[in-house]
Structure formats: C-alpha cells, structure tokens
Amino acid sequence: MKINTDFLGIGWSFPPEFNQTEGKLAMTTDVEDINNSLMILLSTRPGERVMFPDYGCDLQEMLFKPLDLTLITQMKGIIERAILYHEPRINILSIEIDAQEELEGEVLIQINYEVRNTNTRSNMVFPFYKGEATEI
C-alpha cells in the first residue's frame, strides 16, 4: 500500500534552477522539498522576509562567539524553535552539532527528523560557516 504524501507539497528547488529545454522551473517534492525548506529556514535571518518578519533562524548572532557547550545548547534551542514554528511537516528527533572543523570556520548541524503522518525518518546536514568567504 502506497502512502499518500500529497500533503508534503511541491516547492521550488533550492537554489532555484531552470530547465532550459522545457522552459520550466525545477520543482521538488516529498523529503527533498522538506530539506530545501530547512536549508532556507536555517539560512534566513529573522526580518529578511518582508511579509513574514518572524521567519528564519538567527544563527548569525552566534558567529563571533566562542563555541562552547553553552553556545551549542543555545544554537540547538534556536534551531528547534524555528523548525517548531515554521516547518509543521516534521517532528525533530535530534539535533547534533559537529564542531570538528571549527578552526576552519565550519560547523555542521545535523537534524534528524521524522515526517508527520508517514513516520518516515530522514536527516539533513546544514553547513554553518563561522568565517567570511574572503579567501581567494
């Protein structure tokens, strides 16, 4: 028996891509659409979207703070709240922060979740860069 996943919706691919031969915008569905939505949510600062001023996840505030247990706990709370309010299709199972590459300016955020109504488990990794991209 196939599970109906129509409630997950269809969205633009992220970043937006165009199919030159068909002249159409590339679309995503199911878990891929959820992962794209999470990438957009985590990379958007609150206030950037004019019609949705509360949308986003304020990780940029953590940029120049020392990465200790307190900051990791605070980051997990910010991410959890943002997903709770803005991504109703999933339940968070865990959020893990990998700071092994912190000296290179990269922190990996792994979000393990299950899709509501289907109990399908999945995860996504969001690379949060602590340094500017100024190296040429």
Q: How far apart are CA 20 and CA 100, in angstroms?
A: 40
Would the pLDDT of 4 be above 70? no
Q: Which residues contact 96 (CB under 8 A, 6 or more apart)?
A: 109, 110, 112
SS3 62: helix
All domains in the chain, ordered by first residue = 10-115 (3.10.450.40)
SS3 state at 27 = strand
Residue 16 is predicted with a pLDDT of 76
**What is the reported pLDDT for 134?**
52
The residue count of the chain comes to: 136
Q: How far apart are CA 15 and CA 39, in angstroms?
A: 10
- pLDDT at residue number 33: 85
Question: How high is the pLDDT of residue 84?
Answer: 95
Segment 77-95 shows an average pLDDT of: 94
More confident of the two residues 32 and 3: 32
| Separation of alpha carbons 76 and 80, rounded Å | 6
pTM of the predicted structure, to 2 decimals: 0.77
11, β-bridge pairs:
28
Q: What is the pLDDT of residues 52-66, one digit of tens each?
A: 999 999 888 888 888
Q: Residue 70 pLDDT more than 70?
A: yes
Please state the φ and ψ torsions of residue 63, each to the nearest 5 degrees: -55, -45
